[in-house]
Structure 1
């Protein structure tokens, strides 16, 4: 998230071999996201900023954003609708922004879209399924919202493939983030955006406050045998760090050491 100190934390704890994304918040807007993405790209990171469609005013601003990212050497984006209550202009959802990008031309080689294994707090499932089919035409991969049940994720991925969406899926899960950190981040988003975030991520809320809390290990271990299975389309994991970069990188390296991928 484009908060004060994020750039220094990335430089201190995140290897440049790891692709990073920069989220867009309602409070800070697109400018903060793009600015941080440009600075990180200048440090040698492969960066994909979130482009929240409902925060883009019009086609001219979209063209300016694309130009700015191209000049910074950024060739990846993650397109979402965004949670602002009212669209700033003519892009009410991710699909409309993707269509405009395609019509106007762009340089992006990596375009991610969101996936919802457990549905969405305010959108009917059939609409979500139809939307991802339409968005997949313009995308290169899917990153899921948070879900903590391996069977649910696997069944959703199979259903997606049966519907003709064969994009690689990266399973989104929190890194090594404490409940205190989640509360601070949620508060920093602002009351309205925090409420919408938690409405979509109710399973995250319960996981953090039930006895035993949350650990990323269990979900990774349960899904690992299914990742890169030729019969499926689970391609890997996407860690939502909530800016807990030092702890998450330490956890990631520990998992790789235990699995024998690092020495």
Structure 2
């Protein structure tokens, strides 16, 4: 497995890279977002490990945004910040998990493996071969087409520019039209346990998803609010196969 670690503390990066290589990882390190971009394009890593503060004018949050738009790789955020707002912000911008300094390298490695396990089944959001086979197929929901294997969605033939999180939510909801998902359920199945305790982050992702689907918040076509409970995909938006 390959990781690009973006960290401005050189001693931590060197020590951590030695440890991870002993555990069988290939490690490429960078101290700035600019260097990291070139590394990611060249190395094609399986995971990104990104510190909040970096050298240069850009931060780890900038890399989170870029990753969600471009590479859509599993990303573990490293932060010395303990404020809840900062953690929520990192998760909303596309981080899959976060770890706070100081940490042990064994804990870091365990978090990395957990993120890979979780994101490896994120597209289907359920265990079992039947669920995997079912959701690997192309979903047709009226004018909406969802291709889980390529992480693509189209509305009336027009490609939708969805973040990884938005796509995961859309796929989870559209896979069971009419079924009501609580915020907690969506967190666990579509996004993973890194979001535990931050149920309201779902609302901001749903708002963005509806906007990209062209849904009127007062009368949405696809994603319906079940007040006091959560959300469901409108079963009248179109049949599936």
Q: In which range does the TM-score fall when normalised by the shorter chain?
A: 0.3 to 0.5
Structure richer in helix, relative to its length: 1
Bigger-Rg structure (1/2): 2
TM-score by length of 1: 0.30
Structure number with the bigger relative contact order (C-alpha 8 A, sep ≥ 6) is: 1
